Amino acid sequence: MKRKFIDLFAGIGGFHIALHDEKTECVFASENDSFCRTTYLYNFYNISPEIFINNQFNDDILKADPELIPDHEILCAGFPCQPFSQAGYKRGFNEDLENRGNMFFVIRDIIKAKRPDAIFLENVKHLLNHDGGKTFNIIQEILEEELDYKIYYKIVKASDYGLPQHRPRIFIIGFPKEHKYPYPFQFPDPVKLELNMSDIFGGECTREIGFTVRVGGRRSGIDDRRNWDAYNVNNKVVILGVDEGKALMGFPKNFFFPVSDTQAMKQLGNSVAVSAARMVANQIKSYLNKRGHKQILQIDEKTNRMIIV
């Protein structure tokens, strides 16, 4: 039986690519931006046709009934970073009218209704310090105390997982506390970077690791402090294009943008780095398979270190 996941605040489907395989399928996706929806539909209709045929490609998650969302084992969400109303929050989760528009509360309601085996959330690293740390503290409190999930989080760089841009993002992983695991979840170890910006451009680039792909500030100029898309390649100024942007974000070459290049670059700038998400997702899948297992320790012959198997 295939493991199922849902793709909330889906953008152009970075999580979808990262998780989808012969044993894992998407059963629900939600994205309200019409341009992103066009790109998502074009690239995933042949991969996951059921979500479109069965009307499970939602365009307004605020109108979705959490109880009617298909059952799933993994919930993925690259949710927006929004402040919480402290006054409203302190009145209680269920009566929190002032926070009704906060997208994290949508995620909370779906988790409460469907109780997935794992949650995989992504946000900008600034979430940790947003609103003086209050935003993240509330998120952690909701997940751990109200929803009773064990939470693990880490600032993950795309460059640690095979992509030549720093792109630090916070990944938040959670599992129901009642599910017994033999050891804590561990994020995958960084891997050696085998792709650099010269490989991306197919020429000699002065930077090995590129700038983080962003939404604003395009064409600022190579000498501007806001620059992120201008590079010196073969002693010429070259602007990062859609093909280079796809490679830098870990999207496959056959991923197609049926929108303008301006929209395509914006969509890439808002996406999750696919390679980083895939490595963490694979770790989640492996961890789920350990549920109920007893902890077994042995010596790794190569490193002579004690490891868990």
Contact in structure between 240 and 233 (CB atoms under 8 Å): no
* Sequence-ordered alpha helix ranges (H) in the chain: 14-19, 34-44, 49-53, 86-90, 103-114, 134-141, 197-201, 242-249, 261-269, 274-288
Catalytic residue chosen out of the listed positions 26, 36, 76, 81: 81
Q: Which residues contact 299 (CB under 8 A, 6 or more apart)?
A: 305, 306, 307
Collapse the DSSP code of 62 into the 3-class scheme (helix H, G, I; strand E, B; otherwise coil) and give the result: helix
Q: How far apart are alpha carbons 160 and 217 in whole angstroms?
A: 25
Output phi, psi for 138, to 5 deg: -70, -45
The structure tokens listed for 184 are 């804590």
CB burial string 274-284: b at 16+ within 10 A, e below? bbbbbbbbebb
Q: How far apart are alpha carbons 187 and 280 in whole angstroms?
A: 6
E strand map for 137-224: 149-156, 169-176
Contact in structure between 160 and 115 (CB atoms under 8 Å): no
The reply to whether 81 belongs to the active site is yes
How far is CA 125 from its chain centroid? 12
Catalytic residue positions, numbered: 81
